[in-house]
Amino acid sequence: MLLQRLTDLAPAEIEPLLVESRAEGYNFVDRLVDDYADGSPARPICNECFVSPRPLFTV
């Protein structure tokens, strides 16, 4: 499996993740969304960014 950095998230795609993360107390997701929206770079010190698992190959 390959983790790929996401660079084009639509608000409708991220909203379910925000709702669930807030309910579970993961407030850093809000910060990531805010940074993503205003064009701030990923946080290299904390290694925080949005990623998506991708298969290396299909069968």
Per residue in 3-42, pLDDT (tens digit) is 777 777 787 888 888 999 999 998 888 888 887 777 776 5
48, 3 Cβ separation under 8 angstroms: no
Sign of torsion over alpha carbons 23, 25, 31, 36 = negative
Q: Residue 40 and residue 32: Cα distance in Å, rounded? A: 9
Q: Please state the pTM of the whole predicted model.
A: 0.58
Is the confidence at residue 59, as pLDDT, over 90? no
Give the CA-trace dihedral at 23, 24, 29, 34, to 10 degrees. Answer: 30
Predicted pLDDT at 20: 93
Predicted pLDDT at 17: 87
